[in-house]
A and B are shown apart, each in its own frame.
Chain A
Amino acid sequence: MARGTRQDDVEARFIEAHHRLFGPGLNGEPGFLHNLRQKAIGRFGSMGFPSKKDEAWKYTSLRGILRTPLAVAPDCTAPPPSVRAIHGLDAHIGVFVNGRLHAGLSVLASLPAGVTIAGLGDAPPALVAAHLARQADFRGHAFVALNTAFLSDGAFVHVPDGTVLDKPVHLIHVISGRAPTLAQPRTLVIAGTGAQVNLIDTISADLAAPSLVNSVTEVFVAAGARVARFEVQDPAAHVSLVTALSAYQLQDSHFQNNSFTFGGQVVRNNIAMLPDAAGCETLLHGLFIARGRAHVDNHTLVDHAKPDCYSAENYRGILDDRATGVFNGKVLVRQDAQRINAYQSNKSIVLSNTARMFAKPELEIYADDVKCSHGATTGQLDAEALFYLRARGLTMPQARTLMLQAFARDIVDKVPIEPLRSVLDERIAAILAR
Chain B
Amino acid sequence: MTPILQINSLKASVNGMPILKGVDLTVNTGELHAIMGPNGSGKSTLAAVLAGREDYEVDAGSILYQGADLLEMEVDERAREGLFLAFQYPVELPGVSMMNFLKTAVNSVREHRGLRPLGAAALLRLAREKAALIHLDSRLKKRSVNEGFSGGEKKRNEIFQLAMLEPRLAILDETDSGLDIDALRNVADGVNGLRTNDRAFVVITHYQRLLDYIIPDFVHVMYDGCIVMSGGKELALELEARGYDWISENGVPA
Chain A residues at the B interface, C-beta cutoff of 8 Å: 382, 384-385, 387-396, 398-399, 402-403, 405-407, 409-410
Closest 7 pairs between A and B when the two form their complex, measured CB to CB: A406-B95, A393-B79, A392-B105, A388-B91, A390-B75, A390-B76, A409-B95
Q: Which residues of B contact A382 (CB under 8 A)?
A: 91
Q: Which residues of B contact A387 (CB under 8 A)?
A: 53-54, 75, 91
Q: Is B202 an interface residue (CB 8 A)?
A: no
Q: Which residues of A contact B117 (CB under 8 A)?
A: none
Name the one of B93, B96, B108 contacting A393, with C-beta atoms under 8 angstroms. B108
Q: Which residues of B contact A409 (CB under 8 A)?
A: 95
Q: Which residues of B contact A385 (CB under 8 A)?
A: 91, 93
25 residue pairs from A and B, CB less than 8 Å apart:
A388-B87, A389-B101, A390-B75, A390-B76, A390-B79, A391-B75, A391-B78, A391-B79, A392-B79, A392-B101, A392-B105, A392-B161, A392-B165, A393-B80, A393-B109, A394-B104, A398-B104, A402-B96, A402-B104, A403-B93, A405-B95, A406-B93, A406-B94, A406-B95, A406-B144
Given contacts A390-B75, A393-B165, 6 further A-B contacts (CB under 8 A): A384-B91, A390-B79, A391-B75, A391-B78, A391-B79, A398-B108
Name the residue among B75, B87, B112, B165 with the largest chain A CB count within 10 angstroms.
B75
Q: Which residues of A contact B87 (CB under 8 A)?
A: 388, 391
- The reply to whether A406 and B76 form a contact with Cβ atoms under 8 Å apart is no
Q: Is B100 an interface residue (CB 8 A)?
A: yes
Q: Looking across the interface, which residue of chain A has its beta carbon closest to that of B96?
A: A406
- The reply to whether A391 and B51 form a contact with Cβ atoms under 8 Å apart is yes
Q: Which residues of A contact B74 (CB under 8 A)?
A: 390
Q: Is B85 an interface residue (CB 8 A)?
A: yes
Q: Which residues of A contact B51 (CB under 8 A)?
A: 391
Q: Which residues of B contact A406 (CB under 8 A)?
A: 93-96, 144
**Minimum distance in angstroms from A294 CB to a CB of chain B:** 24
Q: Which residues of B contact A390 (CB under 8 A)?
A: 52, 74-76, 79
- The reply to whether A403 and B105 form a contact with Cβ atoms under 8 Å apart is no
Name the residue among A384, A393, A405, A409 with the largest chain B CB count within 10 angstroms.
A393
Interface of A is mostly: helix
**Minimum distance in angstroms from B76 CB to a CB of chain A:** 4
Q: Which residues of A contact B76 (CB under 8 A)?
A: 390-391, 393-396, 399
Docked pose: A248 CA to B193 CA in angstroms? 64
Q: Looking across the interface, which residue of chain B has its beta carbon closest to that of A406?
A: B95
Q: Looking across the interface, which residue of chain A has its beta carbon closest to that of B145?
A: A388
| Binary flags per residue of B190-214, CB closer than 8 Å to A gives 1, else 0 | 0000000000000000000000000
| Binary flags per residue of B15-58, CB closer than 8 Å to A gives 1, else 0 | 00000000000000000000000000000000000011110000
- The reply to whether B105 and A407 form a contact with Cβ atoms under 8 Å apart is no
Q: Looking across the interface, which residue of chain B has its beta carbon closest to that of A404?
A: B95
- The reply to whether A393 and B95 form a contact with Cβ atoms under 8 Å apart is no
Q: Which residues of B contact A395 (CB under 8 A)?
A: 76, 108
Q: Which residues of B contact A399 (CB under 8 A)?
A: 76
Docked pose: A21 CA to B79 CA in angstroms? 67
Q: Which residues of A contact B78 (CB under 8 A)?
A: 391
Docked pose: A390 CA to B78 CA in angstroms? 9
| Binary flags per residue of B65-77, CB closer than 8 Å to A gives 1, else 0 | 0000000001110
Q: Is B152 an interface residue (CB 8 A)?
A: no
- The reply to whether A388 and B93 form a contact with Cβ atoms under 8 Å apart is yes
Docked pose: A253 CA to B105 CA in angstroms? 45
Q: Which residues of B contact A393 (CB under 8 A)?
A: 76, 79-80, 105, 108-109, 112, 165
Q: Which residues of B contact A391 (CB under 8 A)?
A: 51-52, 75-76, 78-79, 84-85, 87
**Minimum distance in angstroms from A383 CB to a CB of chain B:** 8
**Minimum distance in angstroms from A21 CB to a CB of chain B:** 49
Name the residue among A385, A392, A396 with the largest chain B CB count within 10 angstroms.
A392
- The reply to whether A388 and B90 form a contact with Cβ atoms under 8 Å apart is yes
Q: Looking across the interface, which residue of chain A has its beta carbon closest to that of B109?
A: A393
Docked pose: A381 CA to B61 CA in angstroms? 32
**Minimum distance in angstroms from B86 CB to a CB of chain A:** 10
Q: Looking across the interface, which residue of chain B has its beta carbon closest to that of A401?
A: B104
Docked pose: A406 CA to B100 CA in angstroms? 11
Q: Looking across the interface, which residue of chain A has its beta carbon closest to that of B74?
A: A390
**Minimum distance in angstroms from B204 CB to a CB of chain A:** 16
- The reply to whether B91 and A394 form a contact with Cβ atoms under 8 Å apart is no
Q: Which residues of A contact B95 (CB under 8 A)?
A: 405-407, 409-410
**Minimum distance in angstroms from B160 CB to a CB of chain A:** 12
Docked pose: A405 CA to B97 CA in angstroms? 10
Docked pose: A410 CA to B76 CA in angstroms? 27
Docked pose: A35 CA to B104 CA in angstroms? 60
Docked pose: A402 CA to B104 CA in angstroms? 9
**Minimum distance in angstroms from A345 CB to a CB of chain B:** 14
Q: Looking across the interface, which residue of chain B has its beta carbon closest to that of A395?
A: B76
Name the residue among B53, B84, B105, B161 with the largest chain A CB count within 10 angstroms.
B105
**Known A402-B96, A403-B96; contact A394-B53, beta-carbon cutoff 8 A:** no
Docked pose: A71 CA to B114 CA in angstroms? 57
Q: Which residues of A contact B105 (CB under 8 A)?
A: 389, 392-394
Docked pose: A49 CA to B20 CA in angstroms? 65
**Minimum distance in angstroms from A408 CB to a CB of chain B:** 8
Q: Which residues of A contact B90 (CB under 8 A)?
A: 388
Docked pose: A396 CA to B79 CA in angstroms? 13
Docked pose: A167 CA to B33 CA in angstroms? 62
**Known A385-B91, A391-B79, A392-B161; contact A402-B108, beta-carbon cutoff 8 A:** no
Q: Looking across the interface, which residue of chain A has its beta carbon closest to that of B144?
A: A406
**Minimum distance in angstroms from B50 CB to a CB of chain A:** 10
Docked pose: A410 CA to B95 CA in angstroms? 7
Docked pose: A394 CA to B78 CA in angstroms? 10
B88-130 at interface with A (beta carbon < 8 Å):
90-91, 93-96, 100-101, 104-105, 108-109, 112
**Minimum distance in angstroms from A428 CB to a CB of chain B:** 12
**Minimum distance in angstroms from A10 CB to a CB of chain B:** 44
**Minimum distance in angstroms from A53 CB to a CB of chain B:** 40
Q: Looking across the interface, which residue of chain B has its beta carbon closest to that of A384?
A: B91
Docked pose: A391 CA to B108 CA in angstroms? 12
